[in-house]
Structure formats: structure tokens, C-alpha cells
């Protein structure tokens, strides 16, 4: 019985690896436009790094174990704790604001569901050391521009933005007691996935009155700036949305407001968010969130012992790949080489090797047959590799110091002197 890959883990054959590299390359290029620099940490960390942030319940979702030195360790389920650890270790020396991104592979042991993976790659973009809502706008803009760069438009996706301080004000005004705000948030978070009765029941079970629970669901239904302004009018915390509105205004100035919508059902499940939060969905909301993030001003203090305001997002490769597929935006990934060099006879091989290596030194991708084959067979291989140029060298060509150059796109064939052939072929290959 042959050994197979573990369930929930992907093999990347060249076509899949090329798609992955396409997404990574867009991630890197867009993050770079905003001045973000790449970092990385170890895929294995002390278990404590994750339980300190998320409590001991997280352990059941981890690939954790004892190493041979008796250390409790875990594969990373998320990047933020590593980021907080690294930033805290050099907090003094790093210029603020810190603009960093990373593309880690992350691991979660989830009960096997159909097609559910146990690993994925995630773009993490974080901005540390700045409280201004312009920082929030900046980070949200990166997430939007990644999708635009991949070919998606405002008809394809929306960023839904909210603010936990605003939500707190609204939920308190709805009659939720101070200590039960988290239970109200949990209900808001599930408004698209569970019926209202069930959510109200859960809130009531948590100690929230039925009337307040019904009000909470109304709050979670608020969409758009006008509706939010109306809901806040007259509240003691009327100003709580100042940051959120400034963030939206900045995105408008960037020309990105068409991609953004205020949506009070967005609270993000995780306790550590402290301000503006957002999620990016396909327009039909038929897939899971493509991206989620927000402000977490206390995390570097709690994990790293150094207080720094911070915010960021994570965007996974799996849901993003599904959306690109749905929209027909997967790139053409068949490999193509620049040059295939044909040796008519084995005596011609040294000249083929010499020429091939000169062309490779110019940066061209070059192949040739690794064993003696007929010219016809070699031409077939050249065609199957989609070579831009085919070179043919036989005894006659060597005698004359020429090379037959076939331009596969134009279907033309010329003899070029050996001295000029490198220049000619690099020119042809550049014209792909």
C-alpha cells in the first residue's frame, strides 16, 4: 500500500504551484506599493505563545506535541502571536509605524469536513505603532487593492466594516448589561448563519432580556453610514463612530469607497479586537470570508510585554483561489520555454550544449534532448514544451558556422551566423 499525503494537506504539482506563486506575487507586489516589508517567523513555536493569546481551548485545534527535549510546541495556527513576539523583542530599535507583511503557511487540526483543509497560506499585513484611523484605511486599502490586482471589481466583492467601540455603544443602548456585551457580539457575529429566534434564545440564556436581544439584532442589521448615524443620534456615545467615519472618508479620498460598506453584523469573533474591524466577502456571500482583520491595540502588550497600537488582516489562499476560479480569473499557467536546441546527430551535441549554455547565461530558458533522438522527435518535444524558438545544428551548419533559427510563432526559418545567433535569439525570445 503506497503512502499518501495526510488528509487535509495539499500537494502542489507544477500547475497548482504556479497558481500559488501567482497569488503570492500579487500579495507581495501590492503590499510593497504601500511600503510594507516582508518578514517571517518559525512554523513551530512554543505552545504557550498560542495559549497565552487564545486560552487553553485553542489546544484542541492545534498540531501540538512534545519535542525530543521535552518542550511543549505547536505548528503555528496563526501569525499574529509570532509577530507580537518579534516586534516586542526589538520594539526599541524598530522605526514606527512598523509596516510588515508575511505569507506563512498555517495549520489547524479541525475535525475532518468534506474538502476542509488543515493547512493554508495566509497573507498577513500589519501596521504597528499608529492610532490614527488613517492607518485602518491604509490596511483596508491593501486588502482591496490585492483583489483589484487579481482582476476583481466592485461587483465581485465588498469590504464590510464596523467598529467594536461603536457596537459596544449601540449594544449598551439596546439594554445589554455591561458584562454581557460579548454575548451580544456573539449573536451579531452569527446573524447570517442562524435564525433570529435561536440567537435571541441564546442571548436570553446568557442573561440578556428578550427585548434587549431583539434590539441587538436590529443593531446588527444596520448597514451604511446614514443608518448608523441615525442609530447613534442622541446617544451619550454619539462620537464613538468618529474613527470609523474618518476611516471611510480616507478610503473615499483614495477612490475606494465603492468597495466598502458599513455593516454592523461584523464584530469578529476574537476578543482581542479593540476598534475598527472588517471582513471581505464575495458579493454574493456564497463563500466564507476572503479576509478579516481589525485593530488590536492591546495584543503586543499582552503577548510581548510592549504596548503598541496595532492593526492588521489575514487573507487566505484557499477561498481566494475559489473566487478567482468562479470568476474565470485563474491565470494561464502552462509552462513555456524560450528555446529548444536540436542536435541532428550526436556529434552536434557539444555545439548544442555550448550554445544552450550561452543562452542560459543570458537568462533564457533552454532545453534540448538528453539522449540521442531523431530530429522529428526532438521537434515534437520542442512543440510540446511550447518553445518560442527552435535552433537546429547539424554537420552542415557546423561546417558553415551557422545555426538554423526557427521562429515558432511566425513559422519562419533562417540561417544565422554563429556569432550573431545569441543576439538574434535573445531578441526573438524577448518578443514573446
Q: Which of residues 38-57 bind a second copy (CB under 8 A)?
A: 38-46, 48-49, 52
Residue 48: partners with Cβ closer than 8 Å, 6 or more residues away:
72
Among 154, 257, 367, 407, which residue sits at the site for a second copy (rule: CB under 8 A)?
Answer: 367
Q: Rounded CA gap, 186 and 207, in Å?
A: 13
What minimum distance in Å lies between the beta carbon of 125 and a second copy? 14
Q: Which stretch binds a second copy (CB under 8 A): 153-161, 225-233, 290-298, 366-374?
A: 366-374
For a second copy, the binding residue among 207, 269, 350, 427 (CB under 8 A) is 350
Give the residue, chosen from 293, 304, 312, 321, that forms a contact with a second copy under the rule CB under 8 A: 304
Assess 88 for contact with a second copy (CB under 8 A).
Answer: yes
Segment contacting a second copy by CB under 8 A, of 30-38, 260-268, 313-321, 406-414 = 30-38
Contact 162, 276 (CB under 8 A): yes
Is 363 a residue that touches a second copy (CB under 8 A)?
yes
CB atoms within 10 A of CB 353: 13
Task: Kindly state whether residue 348 participates in binding a second copy, applying the rule CB under 8 A.
Answer: no
- Cβ of residue 190: shortest distance to a second copy, in angstroms? 26
Measured in whole angstroms, how far is the alpha carbon of residue 374 from the centre of its chain? 47
Single out the residue of 90, 240, 270 nearest to residue 166, CA to CA.
240
Looking at residues 149 to 188 of the shown chain, list those that interact with a second copy (rule: CB under 8 A). Answer: none
DSSP tag of 404: E
Rounded distance between C-alpha atoms, residue 425 and residue 405, angstroms: 8
Burial class (CB in 10 A: 0-12, 13-18, 19+), 124: buried
Assess 272 for contact with a second copy (CB under 8 A). Answer: no
Closest contact distance (angstroms) between CB of 262 and a second copy is 19
> How many residues make up the chain in this entry?
432
DSSP state of 240: G
Which residue of 370, 411, 412, 419 would you call a contact of a second copy, by CB under 8 A? 370
Q: Going by C-beta distance under 8 Å and a sequence separation of 6 or more, which residues neighbour residue 368?
A: 340, 341, 342, 343, 352, 353, 356, 378
**Near a second copy by CB under 8 A, which window of 99-107, 166-174, 324-332, 405-413?**
99-107
Indicate which single residue of 173, 196, 307, 349 sits in contact with a second copy (rule: CB under 8 A): 349
Check binding of 245 to a second copy (CB under 8 A): no
Size of the site for a second copy (CB under 8 A): 97
Asked whether position 109 contacts a second copy by CB under 8 A, the answer is: yes
Check binding of 432 to a second copy (CB under 8 A). Answer: no
> Do the Cβ atoms of 390 and 408 come closer than 8 Å?
yes
Amino acid at each position: 500500500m503506497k503512502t499518501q499525503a495526510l488528509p487535509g494537506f495539499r500537494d502542489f504539482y507544477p500547475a497548482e504551484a504556479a497558481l500559488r506563486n501567482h497569488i503570492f506575487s500579487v500579495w507581495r507586489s501590492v503590499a510593497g506599493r504601500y511600503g510594507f516589508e516582508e518578514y517571517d517567523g518559525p512554523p513551530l513555536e512554543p505552545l504557550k505563545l498560542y495559549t497565552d493569546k487564545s486560552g487553553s481551548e485553542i489546544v484542541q485545534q492545534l498540531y501540538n506535541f512534545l519535542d525530543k527535549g521535552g518542550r511543549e510546541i505547536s505548528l503555528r495556527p496563526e501569525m499574529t502571536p509570532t509577530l507580537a513576539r518579534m516586534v516586542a523583542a526589538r520594539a526599541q530599535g524598530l522605526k514606527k509605524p512598523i509596516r510588515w507583511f508575511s505569507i506563512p503557511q498555517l495549520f489547524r487540526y479541525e475535525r475532518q469536513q468534506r474538502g476542509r483543509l488543515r493547512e493554508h497560506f495566509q497573507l498577513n499585513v500589519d501596521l504597528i505603532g499608529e492610532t490614527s484611523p488613517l492607518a485602518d484605511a491604509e490596511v483596508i486599502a491593501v486588502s482591496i487593492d490585492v483583489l483589484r490586482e487579481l482582476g476583481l471589481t466592485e461587483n465581485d466583492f465588498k469590504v464590510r466594516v464596523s467598529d467594536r467601540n461603536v457596537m459596544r455603544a449601540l449594544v449598551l443602548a439596546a439594554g445589554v448589561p455591561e458584562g454581557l456585551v460579548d454575548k451580544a457580539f456573539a449573536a451579531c457575529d452569527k446573524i447570517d448563519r442562524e435564525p433570529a429566534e435561536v440567537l435571541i434564545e441564546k442571548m436570553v440564556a446568557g442573561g440578556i432580556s428578550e427585548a434587549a436581544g431583539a434590539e441587538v439584532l436590529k443593531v446588527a442589521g444596520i448597514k451604511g453610514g446614514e443608518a448608523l448615524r441615525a442609530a447613534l443620534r442622541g446617544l451619550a456615545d454619539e462620537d464613538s463612530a468618529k474613527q470609523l467615519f474618518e476611516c471611510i472618508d480616507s478610503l473615499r479620498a483614495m477612490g475606494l469607497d465603492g468597495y466598502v460598506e458599513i455593516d454592523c453584523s461584523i464584530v469578529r469573533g476574537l476578543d482581542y479586537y479593540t476598534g475598527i474591524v472588517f471582513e471581505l466577502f464575495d458579493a454574493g456571500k456564497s463563500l466564507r470570508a476572503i479576509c478579516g482583520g481589525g485593530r488590536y491595540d492591546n495584543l503586543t502588550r499582552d503577548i510581548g510585554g510592549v504596548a503598541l497600537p496595532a492593526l492588521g488582516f489575514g487573507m487566505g489562499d484557499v477561498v481566494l483561489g475559489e473566487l478567482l476560479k468562479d470568476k474565470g480569473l485563474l491565470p494561464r499557467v502552462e509552462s513555456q520555454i524560450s528555446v529548444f536546441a536540436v542536435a541532428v546527430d550526436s556529434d552536434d551535441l557539444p555545439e548544442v550544449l555550448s550554445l544552450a549554455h550561452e543562452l542560459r547565461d543570458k537568462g533564457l530558458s533552454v532545453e534540448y534532448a538528453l539522449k540521442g533522438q531523431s530530429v522529428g522527435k526532438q521537434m515534437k518535444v520542442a512543440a510540446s514544451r511550447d518553445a518560442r524558438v527552435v535552433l537546429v545544428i547539424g554537420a552542415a551548419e557546423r561546417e558553415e558556422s551557422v545555426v538554423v533559427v526557427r521562429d515558432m510563432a511566425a513559422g519562419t526559418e533562417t540561417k544565422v551566423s554563429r556569432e550573431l545567433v545569441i543576439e538574434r535569439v535573445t531578441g526573438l525570445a524577448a518578443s514573446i
